[in-house]
A and B are shown apart, each in its own frame.
Chain A
Amino acid sequence: MGKFLNALFIFCVCCGIVLLSGARAIATPFDLPDLPYSYNALEPHIDAETMQIHHDKHHAAYVNNLNKALEKYPAQQNKTLTELLSNLDQVPEDIRSAVRNNAGGHYNHSLFWTAMSPKGGGQPTGKLAEAINKSFGSFEKFQQAFEAGGASRFGSGWVWLVKVKSGDKPGVLTVTTTPNQDAPLSEGTPILGNDVWEHAYYLKYRNRRPEYLKAWWNVVNWPEISRRFAAAD
């Protein structure tokens, strides 16, 4: 009898999980990805409190608001983030700005967490290193351009390293910035982005954004950025 009850219990729990995950897949086309490391893993460069609020509150809000915006448009729910963001004119007008902001926020932050690692820092190697040297002159010059971009973006936004769309300039890299949660998809494939919204650094660096931009190099996950560079067309 005990065994039967146990089995019944396990059966019910499994059904519950299936039901829950099934319901979840229908109700929420997009999910908040887990952080690939603990909140304090990037200390002292990025503090645990910042990471926790940034991921669990800010990123989570973008995902929730995106799902909410898509609720009444099932056809939009099957699109990927890049499909939504690259073709905003095909998104119904009444949710266009919500999708631009929240799909952008979800896309940008998803790229952001995995661009960092507690074992980050140093310099890229191989083909990415060659492309950086070719496009900027040297790794140091690339860093200067990236920091200058991040410092000069007025208000909320992002600074990016983008692999320019192939065609006349295959493999060329450029530094660009975007306001708010806009993703730089029209220029090519973003392979590295740093968040310069104040929520990304204010608890630790206050008004000193340039200091944050400099410290951030210590956590950049270059093997992942190399992988993205190779995968981008």
Chain B
Amino acid sequence: MAYELPTLPYDRSALEPKISASTLDFHYGKHHAAYVTNFNNLVKDTPLDSLSLEEVIKTTYNDASKVGVFNNAAQAWNHTFYWNGIKPNGGGEPTGPLADKIVADFGSFDAFKTAFKQAGATQFGSGWAWLVLDNGTLKVTKTGNADNPIAHDQIPLLTMDVWEHAYYLDYQNRRPDYIDTFIESLINWDFVAEKFAAAHA
């Protein structure tokens, strides 16, 4: 059963000027689409075809013979999660139980922001920065290439793509500028709060 590229939750120009329509044309229309196509081609007529992306990610992690499947499944998942974690006029601060938990586990919202910025800036080469629940504790992590917290028994709540294709057309080498914009005016805290609530349900 072929996995379908999910619809982008907003217009391709909706994040302008923070992320350009041109970046979304390529990032969603080419990169994300290619991961989905590659994934479908790789699992076609195999037992993996009947599994969810999450199950494929867990099953194929660290299996040298399934690196291609893992990379494409994880990248298909990561990108959908990334699109949902941002929105036009995002940013601001979380409220309610999530805000309390951030203060409890990081000390303050600013301390979280600093840790998230640091993770994104120091992921060398392609990869992702994450806010995850790890055994009930909020943590900021970073992963290389396609790697994903699900493979490490963590619950992802938010991700930021730091592959160069995510920001190069708009920010070139200035990854820290992209990261600041992401944190200050793109994060969809409602989505993060929803994931946080679901993790406790």
Residues of A in contact with B (beta carbons under 8 Å apart): 53, 57-58, 61, 97, 101, 154-157, 179-181, 197-199, 202-203, 206-207
Contact = CB atoms under 8 A, between A and B. Distances in A.
A180 B124 contact: yes
Given A155-B127, A155-B144, A180-B124, 9 more contacts: A53-B172, A57-B172, A156-B126, A180-B125, A181-B125, A197-B164, A198-B163, A202-B164, A202-B168
**Which 10 A-B residue pairs are closest in the complex by CB-CB distance?**
A156-B125, A155-B126, A198-B164, A155-B145, A180-B125, A57-B173, A207-B30, A202-B168, A156-B126, A198-B165
B169 interface: yes
B71 interface: yes
Contacts, number: 53
Interface string B62-96: 00000100010000000000000000000000000
Interface of B: 26, 30-31, 34, 67, 71, 124-127, 144-146, 163-165, 168-169, 172-173
B67 to A, nearest CB: 8
Contacts of B145: 154-155
A61 B71 contact: no
A140 B21 CA distance: 39
A146 B67 CA distance: 21
A95 to B, nearest CB: 14
Contacts of B168: 198-199, 202-203
A53 B173 contact: yes
Contacts of B67: 154
A184 to B, nearest CB: 16
Nearest to B75: A154
12 contacts: A53-B172, A53-B173, A58-B173, A155-B127, A155-B144, A155-B145, A157-B125, A180-B124, A198-B165, A199-B172, A203-B172, A207-B165
A198 B144 CA distance: 15
Contacts of B163: 155, 198
A58 B144 CA distance: 19
Given A154-B71, A207-B34, A61 B164 contact: no
